[in-house]
Amino acid sequence: MPASVQPGTGQLPINASFSVAVTGYHDASLDSEVRRFQAQLARQSGIPFRPKTGSSPTLTIHADHGRQAIQKLGEDESYELTVTDSGAKLAAPTTLGAMRGLQTFLQLVQITPTGFAAPAVAIKDQPRFPWRGTLIDVSRHFIPIDVLKRNIDGMAAVKINVLHWHLSDDQGFRVESKIFPKLTGMGSDGMFYTQDEIRDFIAYAHDRGIRVMPEFDVPGHSRSWFLGYPELSSGSGPYTLEGGGPGPYIDPIMDPTQESTYKFLEKFVAEMARLFPDAYFHIGGDEVDGKQWDANPKSQAFIHAHGMKNNQDLQAYFNQRLQKIVAKNHKTMVGWDEILHPDLPKTIVVQSWRGQESLAAAAKQGYSGLLSNGYYLDLMRPAARHYAVDPMANAAATLAPEEKGRILGGESCQWAEWVTPENIDSHIWPRNAAIAERLWSPQSVTDVASMYARLNAVSLHLEFLGLTHRSAREHMLHRMAGDADITELRNLADVVEPVKDYNRWSDAQGPIDFHAPLTRMLDAVYPESDVARHFSDLVQTFVQSGYKDQAAETQIRTWLAAWRDNDARLHPLLSTTFLLQEDVPLSQNLSALGVAGLQALDYLDKSQPAPDSWKTQQIALITQAKLRQADMLLMVVAPVQQLVEASASQHN
């Protein structure tokens, strides 16, 4: 949603005669963006646009200036877009702004009774925050470059301007180092990016107006470093990759007490600083498990000798040393919450995974900050929940203007415990677009219903762009079903979601096998069920009408009847393939809910209170249906419960 939108009258037809002219400054970056714009417009509309010559282009693009060779934080991304029934004009101070405006134009194009068209409108737009990022973890599950590239396309479509590339962790080191080849040679399963691939990828992202910030997580989350270079660690090896073999699974940490660690990091950071042109360099710094330091007499002696109080002080010492190395390479150091320590200079940027409180605290102390708490896509929460999280809300709302200015924006995070190249798109999209809007659009834009309407539209456009967040589910359901028809399986998949937060795995289960297939129903379904949301909305409408809205009731009954009848048709399939057997109770519960809901409606229609015995039975069913099954949740339990309780509580 742009900062300012003035609707006009009429619409601009988009047909085969559509043409684009660039009248102002242009460069290779804008030229290729225009080509991509036309290609995407062709995909969306199915119109095979051909190069036009002539005097009256449909869309005129005028940029005053070029953009930075290395994209800068805060570079001007503003633009103005005017669409009338006879043409469109896009004007921007920079080609970067023009690129943002072209994405807005693509969002305006819709199918109408008379053809494709963009509504007449006058838009003045600029981002609310200069830093709008998405973190993608490629350590826990390796994500190939082509998959990242299509996600870059998606990010550009929703005006995200930073890819935070989480490149190393306990489960794998993913970047080729020419100086320290054992980082990938021993610290990965052979899957990593070569430096050539990285350069190509960074250029790809730059071409789309996206900065690429690397993260190398130290001194914790760094087991993968120690397979090749155990001397960096504070404990004694040998080490194996987490998930790659037998434990032990305590967290190894770098040894901050020895100069050799810093010598290594000097060389490593210098190499990586050359490879990654972005001005920011993320050093992680989160979740440092102090056990190895506790166990290592050298560390404890070092703490005493330097007058430190604890492990936190030791990490701060490490960070100070590292910050100097990063700064020497002309980069600004970024790290997670835990790096915040008064000993560090105010130039660093703190990324808050812990919460808005710590973000505000950092800003108060003079540090710049980014919010990620509330934007963790891997927690499988609905878009509305992320959308409600504002970097300037709660603790930040009370900051002084100068302090507020230190909040640069935020980043969504896609941690990769449970994703593969096949299903990562659906874990990121379309929900990421809601977070992108939170970070771009005015704080006042908060209506959830209209957000979902836009999200649905953008989700379709993203599939046309090449993302697979919808289509991958279809593939995966077909795999589970073998040759069988998947209509009923899709019906079930439509109303379930994976369990939330960190509930998929418990520590009691031991380490995750990161090379196991992720091919269960759980892995295929969308993190957010549109059908359940629509059904719940329908039930609210019906309830609020005093159970009188006939149209709503008819639709509710259609759903309930479909669910009631689904299990009988689905059951034979569920029992014949090993990937679906665990879903039998889920399907049975859905059918039982369908029956319960229909009975509740019958009681409501007759204005006849449901008997207590019936209600007791239904509540028992509902209680059981709320439990996780095969690591999934049935998302239509609550609205059915609402109907059941309403039917029982009505009075004659």
Q: What angle do CA 404, 406, 408 make, to 5 degrees?
A: 105
Q: According to the binding rule CB under 8 A, does residue 515 interact with a second copy?
A: yes
Mark the segment that binds a second copy (CB under 8 A) among 25-33, 353-361, 372-380, 463-471.
463-471
Q: According to the binding rule CB under 8 A, does residue 642 interact with a second copy?
A: no
| Interface pattern 148-187 for a second copy (x via CB under 8 A) | ----------------------------------------
Q: According to the binding rule CB under 8 A, does residue 453 interact with a second copy?
A: yes
Q: Is the dihedral of CA 53, 56, 60, 62 positive or negative?
A: positive
Long-range CB contacts (within 8 A, 24+) of 233-236: 233/292, 234/292, 234/293, 234/296, 234/298, 234/299, 235/292, 235/295, 235/296
Shorter beta-carbon distance to a second copy: residue 404 or 479:
479
Task: List Cα–Cα distances, 23 to 27, 50, 123, 466, in angstroms.
Answer: 12, 19, 19, 30
* CA-CA-CA-CA dihedral for 256, 258, 261, 264, to nearest 10: 160
Q: Which amino acid is at 481?
A: A
Q: Which of 286, 463, 537, 645 binds a second copy (CB under 8 A)?
A: 463
Q: According to the binding rule CB under 8 A, does residue 50 interact with a second copy?
A: yes
The interaxial angle of helices 637-649 and 530-544, nearest 10 deg, is 20
Beta bridge partners of 312: none
Q: According to the binding rule CB under 8 A, does residue 532 interact with a second copy?
A: no
Do the Cβ atoms of 315 and 247 come closer than 8 Å? no
List helix spans (H) across 163-305. 182-185, 195-207, 223-228, 259-275, 291-295, 297-305
Q: According to the binding rule CB under 8 A, does residue 44 interact with a second copy?
A: yes
CB of 75: closest distance to a second copy in angstroms?
33
Shorter beta-carbon distance to a second copy: residue 42 or 308:
42
Shorter beta-carbon distance to a second copy: residue 64 or 417:
417
Q: According to the binding rule CB under 8 A, does residue 422 interact with a second copy?
A: yes
SS3 279: coil
CB of 288: closest distance to a second copy in angstroms?
30
Q: According to the binding rule CB under 8 A, does residue 28 interact with a second copy?
A: no
Shorter beta-carbon distance to a second copy: residue 189 or 200:
189
Shorter beta-carbon distance to a second copy: residue 16 or 28:
16
Burial of 534 per CB tally in 10 Å (0-12, 13-18, 19+): middle
Number of neighbouring beta carbons within 10 Å of residue 80? 19
Number of H helices, E strands in the chain: 24, 18
Q: Which of 144, 181, 248, 482 binds a second copy (CB under 8 A)?
A: 482
From CA 565, how far away is CA 312, in angstroms rounded? 59
| Interface pattern 83-112 for a second copy (x via CB under 8 A) | ---------------------------xxx
Mark the segment that binds a second copy (CB under 8 A) among 119-127, 157-165, 288-296, 473-481.
473-481
Beta bridge partners of 407: 369
Task: List Cα–Cα distances, 255 to 233, 291, 448, in angstroms.
Answer: 5, 12, 48
Token code pair at residue 33: 């963006």
Q: According to the binding rule CB under 8 A, does residue 517 interact with a second copy?
A: yes
Q: Which of 457, 512, 619, 630 binds a second copy (CB under 8 A)?
A: 457
Shorter beta-carbon distance to a second copy: residue 66 or 585:
585
Q: According to the binding rule CB under 8 A, does residue 23 interact with a second copy?
A: no
The one catalytic residue among 231, 242, 287, 463 = 287
Write the CB contacts of 365 (distance below 8 Å, at least 6 apart in sequence).
340, 342, 346
From CA 546, how far away is CA 540, in angstroms rounded? 10
From CA 299, how far away is CA 301, in angstroms rounded? 5
Q: Which of 519, 588, 599, 642 binds a second copy (CB under 8 A)?
A: 519
Q: According to the binding rule CB under 8 A, does residue 395 interact with a second copy?
A: no
SS3 131: strand
Q: Which of 48, 54, 297, 401 binds a second copy (CB under 8 A)?
A: 48
From CA 462, how far away is CA 41, in angstroms rounded? 12
Shorter beta-carbon distance to a second copy: residue 110 or 541:
110
Number of neighbouring beta carbons within 10 Å of residue 204? 16
Looking at residue 71, the DSSP 8-state letter turns out to be P
Q: According to the binding rule CB under 8 A, does residue 516 interact with a second copy?
A: yes
Q: According to the binding rule CB under 8 A, does residue 414 interact with a second copy?
A: no
From CA 499, how far away is CA 521, in angstroms rounded? 12
| Interface pattern 108-137 for a second copy (x via CB under 8 A) | --xxxxxx----------------------
Q: Which amino acid is at 640?
A: V
Q: According to the binding rule CB under 8 A, does residue 246 interact with a second copy?
A: no
Residues 560-589 that bind a second copy (CB under 8 A): 575-579, 581
Q: Is 287 a catalytic residue?
A: yes
Of residues 126, 193, 190, the one with CA closest to residue 166:
193
CB of 394: closest distance to a second copy in angstroms?
33
Listed in order, strand segments (DSSP E) in 329-447 are: 332-336, 349-352, 368-371, 407-414
From CA 288, how far away is CA 256, in angstroms rounded? 12
CB of 432: closest distance to a second copy in angstroms?
18
Mark the segment that binds a second copy (CB under 8 A) among 71-79, 127-135, 360-368, 455-463.
455-463
Burial of 338 per CB tally in 10 Å (0-12, 13-18, 19+): buried
Mark the segment that binds a second copy (CB under 8 A) among 174-182, 313-321, 357-365, 458-466.
458-466
Interface with a second copy (CB under 8 A), residue total 46
Token code pair at residue 581: 């057997």
CB of 94: closest distance to a second copy in angstroms?
31
Mark the segment that binds a second copy (CB under 8 A) among 40-48, 227-235, 330-338, 401-409.
40-48
CB of 408: closest distance to a second copy in angstroms?
33
From CA 635, how far away is CA 411, in angstroms rounded? 27
Q: According to the binding rule CB under 8 A, does residue 51 interact with a second copy?
A: yes
Q: Which amino acid is at 142?
A: F
Do the Cβ atoms of 325 and 273 come closer than 8 Å? no
Shorter beta-carbon distance to a second copy: residue 16 or 203:
16
CB of 457: closest distance to a second copy in angstroms?
5
Mark the segment that binds a second copy (CB under 8 A) among 219-227, 271-279, 475-483, 601-609.
475-483
Looking at residue 189, the DSSP 8-state letter turns out to be S
Q: Which residues bind a second copy (CB under 8 A)?
A: 16, 44-48, 50-51, 110-115, 189-190, 420, 422, 453, 456-457, 460, 463-464, 470-471, 474-476, 478-483, 515-519, 575-579, 581
| Active-site amino acid positions | 287
